[in-house]
């Protein structure tokens, strides 16, 4: 609010421009200091903004960098906009440099403010716009009001502006809230509203920063806990295990994830000295103890945990094995790049609950596991979660795609080779993946693509638990667990002679059937949000919201590529959103016409109990026709013809002989289109080269010299 009539103030401004003289009776000290800075910065007070353009590219970048500030401030901007509606005022959010990020408010003032570029993407620092509430508040680091003739540039003198800087938890300016409008409508309470909104925004930002620091500290503490070489266990006042690290699980012979929540005596299976600590407070140090379950001798130190009043609320113990020192095992050269837990598997549909129950059951034993599911359903995530919840979690997890390796290379990769076994072999030989995974888990993806010769060698590893490197007769013992996965119907492959029956029964001790995404549509909203959070972290972007129209489009699609396809599509949508705070249906790049919807199967059966040794493994329902890779299946559908309306024809299921003819025709046409190039043909059909070779051999399509 001005303390003097506008005419007098205008004369004081003109006097400064003409004579460089300041009238202290009319010009406030803060305004005078700002005018002097503008002179030093060579700001032209009479220039017009008509030729200027907004910095749209910089605006997009800054909005992305300031996502947290914008997200927290938006509710308060809406409230302020409501208060000033109908008063020729607008509410503005800027970054710490005075770049306008968001503008909202009365439409009647928009035309006038746009003429002076008071709009998103404009720079309102003092160096750019002269004295104004935004730029001057940033310099002063305090709330500022600038009205009418106090603006250094003449074109801005129709405005009155009230601005206050937003400080982060470190005391640095992170943004600014401003309310600007016609100076004739100035209200003495405007600054109070702006300051109140700024204080609320600062409080919310501090809460979020504190929560982020606590989360980071928790992750750091967990990493330290599980990384120490000593075993560790914590119990509450009732003797219930609240924490146990990986080394502690090894010493006690239990799964750490499953031991939490159980009484200490159940885990220790003996009279645990730590229980006496919570009963009488008597602590101990370097005490030799015999572990009941494993028979190991350990040395332990236990201490009580007390609250502020001195009452015992729990106890902790550290322990290590006694006896001769164990040789340090060399860390394997290859590990899985991710560490998944069962909590990372998103989905509460009945079929997903059954799959998760089967997988949890598999983590409690060392039996081989066969994971069945279409491409992109997350078979490796399940395999990794089984490994990390098992007693082998401290060992390596090696994932090998049997379809991605040429047949001549996969044997040396899995079994290794000895010195001089073939031309180009590394001097001294090379350990194979089975040796590297000793004490851990080997995940064999696309096991159905493995050649008959390799199937026989894998069967011997499963039976004998030894491997021989190529060029060597030495048998090397290995302690590994095999988890296999496939999108094929191995039972049909066994019947057709493409897969060994004895190997199938060795692998399928436990089966985990992962449903395709189209059969668990109720999981799509939660899965989409989880993927967006993961992608945002990977792309170093703040998380975004997903509106209802976007979720409806995602739920209506049939997802032939399953979770992998959804992740790919959401990453593209996130990039196309250009840093927006919400994903909408317009950001999605889904086909307009989708494949015909599939009939949902009956609810999956409840998770079975672990079968006794020698009992038949529980079998999951098998499809009534051969499972084809989605792109090849589409090629067959196209080969079968389309309806006269242009829509894909949906004929009745063909007999096995006619389906083979259609598949043969599709492969032959693809080979002809690619001029016999095997790599291009496999890519065109969407199948692995090994699969294409096998099908060409089955249908007699190989050249005579290669048969």
Q: Supply the DSSP string of 312-360, one letter for each residue.
A: EEEEEEEEEE-SSPPPPPPPPS---S----GGGS---SHHHHHHHHHHH
What lies within 8 Å, CB to CB, of 328 at 6+ separation is none
Which CATH fold would you assign to the domain 228-321?
Answer: Beta-Lactamase (3.30.450)
Task: Count CA atoms within 13 Å of residue 346 on its CB side.
Answer: 17
- Region of poorest pLDDT, from 69-83, 132-146, 196-210, 328-342: 328-342
Contact criterion met (CB below 8 Å) for 52 and 41: no
Contact criterion met (CB below 8 Å) for 106 and 87: yes
Q: CATH number of the domain at 6-209, out of 3.30.360.10, 3.30.450.40, 3.40.140.10, 3.40.50.1820?
A: 3.30.450.40
Counting every residue, how long is the chain?
Answer: 707
How far is C-alpha 114 from the chain's CA centre?
Answer: 41
Pairwise CA distance, residues 467 & 434, whole Å: 8
Pairwise CA distance, residues 406 & 692, whole Å: 13
Reference 177, options 148, 152, 198; nearest CA is: 198
- From the number of C-beta atoms within 10 Å of its C-beta (0-12, 13-18, 19+), residue 565 rates as middle
Confidence (pTM): 0.41
- From the number of C-beta atoms within 10 Å of its C-beta (0-12, 13-18, 19+), residue 639 rates as middle
Most confident of 71-75, 245-249, 333-337, 669-673: 71-75
Q: What per-residue confidence (pLDDT) applies to 53?
A: 61
Confidence of residue 51 (pLDDT cuts 50, 70, 90): low
- Specify the DSSP element, H or E, that contains 563: helix 562-576
Q: What is the CA radius of gyration of the chain?
A: 35
Pairwise CA distance, residues 688 & 685, whole Å: 9
682 three-state secondary structure = helix
What's the mean pLDDT in 279-284? 86
- From the number of C-beta atoms within 10 Å of its C-beta (0-12, 13-18, 19+), residue 564 rates as middle
Confidence of residue 443 (pLDDT cuts 50, 70, 90): very high
Q: What angle do CA 547, 549, 553 make, to 5 degrees?
A: 120
Pairwise CA distance, residues 184 & 87, whole Å: 10
pLDDT of 7 higher than 60? yes
pLDDT of 255 higher than 50? yes
How far is C-alpha 400 from the chain's CA centre?
Answer: 22
Contact criterion met (CB below 8 Å) for 181 and 163: no
Q: Where are the domains of the chain?
A: 6-209, 228-321, 342-513, 517-587, 630-642+650-706
Domain 630-642+650-706 has CATH 1.20.1640: no
pLDDT, tens digit (0-9, with 9 covering 90-100), for 341-363: 888 899 889 999 999 999 999 99
- Region of poorest pLDDT, from 253-267, 269-283, 357-371, 626-640: 626-640
Which own/partner pairs from 99-102 qualify as long-range (CB within 8 Å, at least 24 positions apart)? 99/55, 99/58, 99/59, 99/62, 99/123, 99/124, 100/124, 101/59, 101/62, 101/63, 101/66, 101/69, 101/70, 101/175, 102/70, 102/73, 102/74, 102/77
- Region of poorest pLDDT, from 208-212, 388-392, 549-553: 208-212
Tracing tokens 């770049």 back to the chain, one arrives at 99
Beta strand 100-105 with 231-236 is unpaired
Confidence of residue 307 (pLDDT cuts 50, 70, 90): confident
Pairwise CA distance, residues 33 & 696, whole Å: 84
What letters, b where the CB count within 10 A reaches 16 and e where it falls short, cover 294-316? eebebebbbbbbeeeeeebebbb
pLDDT of 649 higher than 70? no
Pairwise CA distance, residues 658 & 666, whole Å: 12
In CATH terms, are 6-209 and 228-321 the same topology?
yes
Pairwise CA distance, residues 271 & 291, whole Å: 9
Q: Which CATH class for the 517-587 domain?
A: mainly alpha
What lies within 8 Å, CB to CB, of 554 at 6+ separation is 524, 525, 528, 566, 588
Homologous superfamily (CATH) of 342-513 is P-loop containing nucleotide triphosphate hydrolases (3.40.50.300)
pLDDT, tens digit (0-9, with 9 covering 90-100), for 502-560: 999 999 899 999 999 999 999 999 999 888 888 888 777 777 888 888 888 888 888 98
Beta strand 284-290 with 297-306 is antiparallel
């Amino acid at each position: 609010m001005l303390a003097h009539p506008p005419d007098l103030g205008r004369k004081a401004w003109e006097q400064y421009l003409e004579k460089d003289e300041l009238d202290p009776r009319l010009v406030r000290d803060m305004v005078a200091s700002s005018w002097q800075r503008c002179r030093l910065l060579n700001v032209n007070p009479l220039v017009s903004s008509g030729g200027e353009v907004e910095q749209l590219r910089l605006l997009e970048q800054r909005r992305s960098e300031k996502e947290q500030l914008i997200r927290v401030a938006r509710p308060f901007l809406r409230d302020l906009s409501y208060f000033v509606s109908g008063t020729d005022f607008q509410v503005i959010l800027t970054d710490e440099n005075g770049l306008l990020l968001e503008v909202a408010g009365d439409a009647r003032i928009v035309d006038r403010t746009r003429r002076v570029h008071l709009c998103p993407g404009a720079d309102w620092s003092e160096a750019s716009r002269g004295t104004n509430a935004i730029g001057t508040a940033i310099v002063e680091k305090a709330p500022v009001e600038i009205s009418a003739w106090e603006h250094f540039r003449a074109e801005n003198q129709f405005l009155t502006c009230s601005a206050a800087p937003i400080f982060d938890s470190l005391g640095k300016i992170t943004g600014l809230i401003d309310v600007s409008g016609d100076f004739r409508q100035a209200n003495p309470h405007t600054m109070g509203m702006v300051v109140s909104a700024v204080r609320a925004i600062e409080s919310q930002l501090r809460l979020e920063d504190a929560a982020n620091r606590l989360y980071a500290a928790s992750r750091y503490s967990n990493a330290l806990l599980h990384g120490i070489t000593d075993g560790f266990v914590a119990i509450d006042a009732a003797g219930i295990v609240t924490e146990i690290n990986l080394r502690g699980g090894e010493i006690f012979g239990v799964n750490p994830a499953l031991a939490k929540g159980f009484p200490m005596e159940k885990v220790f299976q003996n009279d645990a000295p730590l229980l006496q600590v919570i009963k009488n407070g008597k602590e101990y140090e370097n005490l030799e103890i015999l572990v009941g379950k494993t028979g190991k001798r350990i040395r332990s130190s236990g201490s009580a945990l007390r609250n502020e009043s001195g009452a015992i609320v729990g106890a902790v113990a550290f322990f290590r094995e006694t006896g001769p020192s164990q040789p340090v095992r060399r860390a394997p050269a290859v590990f899985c790049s991710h560490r998944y837990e069962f909590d990372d598997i998103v989905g509460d549909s009945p079929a997903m609950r059954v799959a998760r129950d089967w997988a949890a059951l598999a983590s409690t034993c060392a039996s081989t596991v066969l994971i069945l599911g279409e491409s992109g359903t997350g078979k490796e995530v399940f395999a990794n979660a089984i490994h990390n919840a098992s007693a082998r979690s401290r060992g390596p997890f090696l994932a090998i795609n049997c379809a991605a390796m040429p047949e001549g290379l996969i044997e040396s990769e899995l079994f290794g080779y000895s010195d001089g076994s073939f031309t180009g072999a590394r001097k001294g030989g090379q350990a194979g993946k089975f040796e590297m995974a000793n004490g851990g888990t080997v995940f064999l993806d696309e096991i159905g693509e493995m050649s008959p010769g390799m199937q026989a060698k894998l069967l011997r590893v499963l039976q004998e638990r030894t491997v021989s490197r190529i060029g060597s007769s030495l048998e090397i013992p290995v302690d590994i667990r095999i988890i296999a996965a496939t999108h094929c119907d191995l039972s049909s492959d066994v019947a057709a002679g493409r897969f060994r029956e004895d190997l199938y029964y060795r692998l399928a001790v436990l089966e985990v059937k992962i449903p395709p995404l189209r059969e668990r549509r109720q999981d799509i909203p939660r899965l989409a949000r989880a993927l967006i959070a993961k992608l945002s972290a990977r792309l170093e972007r703040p998380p975004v919201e997903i509106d209802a129209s976007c979720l409806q489009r995602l739920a209506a699609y049939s997802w032939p590529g399953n979770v992998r396809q959804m992740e790919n599509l959401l990453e593209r949508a996130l990039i196309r959103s250009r840093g927006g705070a919400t994903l909408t249906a317009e950001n999605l790049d889904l086909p307009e016409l989708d494949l015909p919807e599939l009939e949902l199967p009956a609810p999956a059966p409840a998770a079975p109990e672990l079968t006794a040794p020698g009992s038949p493994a529980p079998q999951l329902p098998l499809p009534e026709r051969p499972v084809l890779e989605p792109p090849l299946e589409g090629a067959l559908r196209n080969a079968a013809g389309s309806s006269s309306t242009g829509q894909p024809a949906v004929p009745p299921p063909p007999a096995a002989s006619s389906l083979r003819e259609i598949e043969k025709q599709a492969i032959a046409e693809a080979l002809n289109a690619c001029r016999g190039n095997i790599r291009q043909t496999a890519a065109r059909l969407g199948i692995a080269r090994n699969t294409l070779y096998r099908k060409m051999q089955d249908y007699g399509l190989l050249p005579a010299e290669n048969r």
